[in-house]
Amino acid sequence: MSIAIDVDRLSKRYLLGEREAYGALRDTLARALRAPLRWINGRAAHASAVRESIWALENVSFDIRQGEIIGVVGRNGSGKSTLLKILSRITEPTSGRAEIRGRVGSLLEVGTGFHPELTGRENVFVNGAILGMRRAEIRRKFDEIVSFSGIEQFIDTPVKHYSSGMQMRLAFSVAAHLQPQILLIDEVLAVGDAAFQRKCLGKMDDVSRDGRTVVFVSHQMNQLRRLCGRCLWLDSGRVVNMGPTAELLNRYEASFMEASSSPADVQRSPGARFLGWTLGTSHQPRNTIQGFEPVTVRFFLRIDRPIQSGHHGIALFNRDSQVVWGTANDDLSFSPGTYELVYHLPLQLKPGSYRWQVSLFESGKFIDGVDLVPELSIETPPLGHRLDEYSGFLNLPYTFDVRRTDLSEQDLSLRSGTSG
Amino acid sequence: MNSLSTPSELPVQVIAPARGWVPIRLGELWEYRELLAFLVWREVKVRYKQTFLGIAWVILQPFLTMIVFSIFFGKLAKMPSDGLPYPIFTFSALLPWQLFAFALTESSSSVVVNQRLVTKVYFPRLIMPISAIGVGLADFTIAFGVLVAMMAYYGVVPGLAALTVPLWVALAALAALGAGLWLSALNVWYRDIRYTLPFLTQVWMLLTPVIYPASLVPEQWRPLYALNPMVGVIEGFRWALLGTGPAPTVTLATSIAATTVILVGGLFYFRRMERTFADVI
């Protein structure tokens, strides 16, 4: 098989705080006045002299053969998204190079360019064009896209009247019909209900059978195990390993349970460190909920020095970074050792993936806090209305009846008056 | 690497850091012409969907401005108008001017407004400022109908010179694009641009013969005055449709030269800056 993607010592450096780098002209002018020579010599040189930088990717090299489906795993901030952004030419590498053979389509977000004022039909065309489809191609696949989404009857309604679930379905359907020779996907399949996800994954299976190459970032190990022949594991911008999926993912998952991972992490921790989390009571790591019954969630915490009056906070975030649930516990004391913080609770949430954030404080001083990997994946069937499956947070089993009542309106107003 | 089985027709894309000035790559721009068309179409559709008067705004805006100008500058200030009725004199300038001002303003903010696209999808970044020009041209085409109606009302019959109208329109669009390229790239780094723009377009209008005839400018200042590309555009537009004076050949040549410098410089500057857009925006 020939090589589809050849990545050679790719590196990307970000200047810290660069996202807020744009500012007022005044600042630049003031800087130019203070140090005219340095400014003239180039702002890049100036910036690196003053600002700290971070290597989002460092000397990353690997090959992907044509027709392979490659999964990319790693903690948040390990460089996965940066890698995809470079390969899809959204941003440039700082050094190194990559060669890509074939037309590239990338899917870093679903529904890019969707406009609420436009109808579903209009958005399919705009979004398709943005993703790199030709007008003729969109026209040819239009009916297929719409029927895949299952919202035929609303296709001429402005998207602003759609529920978020309907928007998502339509956006996914456009994306699922993107058929470039090389497809780069960033975690977008993490949203949505299991049935629709399966539909999309099935579409991807077809894609690979056509000899297309797919690079696929995901936190969902079950998806990766199903789809990918090989996986690439990144950590702190470097390649930890690349190899057959089963073996690599087992080691990747085990790494969360290890007492200490990298020396840098130990340095960072001033006395305690969250090691990871799992569902259930068995030793086997698990991060997927498939039923509605209450679950046991265990968080592993290593304590390096005695801690008095500890305060432990926890929050669960959804994909949109909204807090879905949170609580805190006071007056904890620990002696050095490894602990489990065990919660038992019902997590009847809309299907999708969620992120745990845990923290530990001592007398108001921060000790450790982290967004845990892997993400929590909820794969219960959605119980809401078919067109409104993802609205809100909760996926509650409920019953619904319509009954005739003998109460008069007066009775009703009396009741509401007395009960407040 | 086993290249034997590589189908030779597969395009090879090399990704590597670029340094300094980079080529414009008009060919790639052409490949993405459909996306350009869709972005223009999206803007045109969206802009009038939620407004009460909808597309009528395109006509009302220059028309009402023309009435105000005619009252204050034409009637009260007795501004000379090259022997033409003042309303049609100023309206014939307001159309290309509003095309220019609108295209300039929209293209300057085009990159910042399309933040999501910049950070999530690849396409030639030049598409953004160019699509803003396209929206301006669509508006212009509609408003042009009003000018034709006014010419009929005042009994102005254009000669063959009217065939040059597309040239003046193109010049206005390219001048706006040229300036818009500089400003849109700068806008990513300095959000001040947003505040400077209204001021900039206002001053620019005063430096352009919209309210007054160019003949009011002293002879010795004309060459300098013509460096403003919009002087050539509006002189030419009036000459083509209303038959004012001789063909403005010298002014036109100066304006074309100035536009070329701004546009080519803008293209290279934009291409040089665009590689930082996704990281900074």
* pLDDT tens by residue, chain A, 420 residues: 689 999 999 999 987 654 444 555 666 666 666 555 555 544 444 444 456 788 899 999 999 999 899 999 988 788 999 999 999 999 999 999 999 998 888 888 878 888 888 999 999 999 999 988 899 999 999 999 999 888 889 999 999 888 877 888 888 888 888 888 888 988 766 555 566 667 777 777 776 677 788 898 987 777 788 888 899 999 989 999 999 998 998 888 777 655 444 444 444 447 888 888 999 888 778 888 988 999 999 999 999 899 988 999 999 988 777 889 999 998 999 999 999 999 999 999 988 888 898 989 888 788 888 888 778 888 888 887 776 666 778 889 889 999 988 888 777 776 555 544
Range from A337-351, B38-52, B261-275 carrying the lowest mean pLDDT: B38-52
Q: Check whether residue A45 and residue A191 sit in a common domain.
A: yes
Q: Residue A195: what pLDDT?
A: 65
Sheet with A337-345: strands ordered across:
A272-279, A295-303, A337-345
Shortest alpha-carbon distance between residue A20 and chain B (Å): 7
Say whether residue A325 is in contact with chain B using an 8 A CB cutoff: no
Say which of B10, B16, B116 has its CB closest to residue A102. Answer: B10
For chain B, the residues whose C-beta falls within 8 A of a C-beta of chain A are: 1-6, 10-18, 34-35, 38-39, 41-42, 45-46, 49-50, 116-123, 188-192, 275, 278-281
What pLDDT is attached to residue A366?
Answer: 81
Q: Which residue does chain B place closest to A88, by CA atoms?
A: B122
Query: Does B6 map to a domain?
Result: no
Provide the shortest C-alpha distance from residue B154 to chain A (in Å): 41
Contact between chains at A102 and B49 (C-beta distance less than 8 A): no
Question: Which of B8, B14, B38, B272 is the best substitution to test chain A (most A C-beta atoms within 10 A)?
Answer: B38
Residue B4 pLDDT greater than 70, yes or no: no
The predicted model gives B185-197 an average pLDDT of 88
- Contact at CB, B189 and A131, closer than 8 angstroms: no
- pLDDT reported for residue B45: 86
B-proximal residues of A, 50-69, CB under 8 Å: 63
CB-nearest partner of B14 from A97, A113, A158? A97
Mutate to test the interface with A, among B21, B40, B42, B115 (most CBs of A within 10 A): B42
Query: Would A81 be classed as within a structural domain?
Result: yes
Contacts of A67 in chain B (CB under 8 A): none
Residues of chain B found within 8 Å of residue A6, distances taken between Cβ atoms: 1
User: CB distance B15–A97 less than 8 Å?
Assistant: yes
User: Is A260 contained in some domain?
Assistant: no
The verdict on a CB contact (< 8 Å) between A93 and B2 is no
Residues A98, A148: one domain?
yes
* Gap between the Cα atoms of B246 and A396, Å rounded: 80
* Mean pLDDT estimate for chain B: 89
Q: Residue B194: which pLDDT band, with cuts at 50, 70 and 90?
A: confident
The pLDDT value given to residue A50: 52
Residues A326 and A240 in one domain: no
Its domain, for residue A348, covers: 269-378
The pLDDT of residue B2 is 37
Task: Give the pLDDT confidence score for residue A8 in this predicted structure.
Answer: 94
Provide the β-strand partners of residue A313: A328, A359
The number of folded domains in chain B is 1
Pair A286, A242 in one domain: no
Answer whether A247's CB lies under 8 Å from A229's CB: no
Residue A191: predicted pLDDT: 57
What is the model's pLDDT at position B5?
42
Note whether residue A403 is domain-resident: no
Query: How far off is chain B from A1, nearest CA to CA, in Å?
Result: 7
Q: Does the distance separating the beta carbons of B5 and A1 come in below 8 Å?
A: yes
Tell me whether residue B183 is in a domain: yes
Q: Are residues A211 and A305 in the same domain?
A: no
Subunit contact A97:B190, Cβ cutoff 8 A:
no
> Is A293 domain-assigned?
yes
Check whether residue A68 and residue A177 sit in a common domain.
yes
What is the arithmetic mean of pLDDT over B185-198? Answer: 88
**In this complex, do A109 and B116 lie within 8 Å of one another by their Cβ atoms?**
yes
Q: What is the pTM of this model?
A: 0.75
pLDDT at B265: 95
Residue B245 confidence (pLDDT): 75
Q: Is pLDDT at B26 greater than 80 in this prediction? A: yes
Between the alpha carbon of residue A365 and those of residues A243, A265, A276, A358, A360, the distances in Å are 42, 19, 22, 15, 9
Domain boundary among A363, A378, A393: A378
pLDDT at A108: 86
Partners of residue A353 on adjacent β-strands: A377
In a domain, B131, yes or no: yes
Residue A117 sits in the same domain as residue A78:
yes
Of A216, A251, A286, which residue constitutes the final position of a domain?
Answer: A251
Q: Is A25 on the interface with B (CB under 8 A)?
A: yes
ipTM, interface predicted TM-score of the complex:
0.84
What's the start-to-end Cα distance of chain B, in Å?
38
Chain B residue whose CA is closest to A112: B117
Residue with more model confidence, B264 or B13? B264
Minimal C-alpha gap between A133 and chain B (Å): 9
Closest approach of B118 to chain A, Cα-based (Å): 7
Candidates A3, A14, A53, A90, partner chain B, best to mutate (most B CBs within 10 A): A90
A44 & A101 share domain: yes
- Residue A358 belongs to some domain of the structure: yes
Q: Do A89 and B119 touch (CB under 8 A)?
A: no
Q: Which residue of B has its CA nearest to A158?
A: B49
CATH of the domain at A339: 2.70.50.60
CB contact under 8 A, A181 and B10: yes
A239 and A328 in a single domain? The answer is no
CATH code (residue A32): 3.40.50.300
Please judge whether B15 and A122 are an interchain contact, meaning their C-beta atoms are less than 8 angstroms apart.
no
Enclosing domain of residue B230: 26-262
Q: Which residue has the higher pLDDT, B257 or B158?
A: B257
How far apart CA A168 and CA A390 sit, in angstroms, is 9
- B4: nearest CA partner in chain A: A2
Residue B109 lies in a domain: yes
B247 pLDDT higher than 70: yes
In a domain, A410, yes or no: no
Residue A257 placed within a domain: no
Tell me how far apart the alpha carbons of residues B102 and A136 are, in angstroms, rounded to a whole number: 32
Q: Are residues A247 and A334 in the same domain?
A: no
**How many structural domains is chain A composed of?**
2
Q: What per-residue confidence (pLDDT) applies to B271?
A: 93
* Helix boundaries (H) for chain B: 26-31, 33-49, 56-69, 86-113, 115-120, 127-153, 165-189, 193-206, 222-225, 229-242, 249-273, 277-280
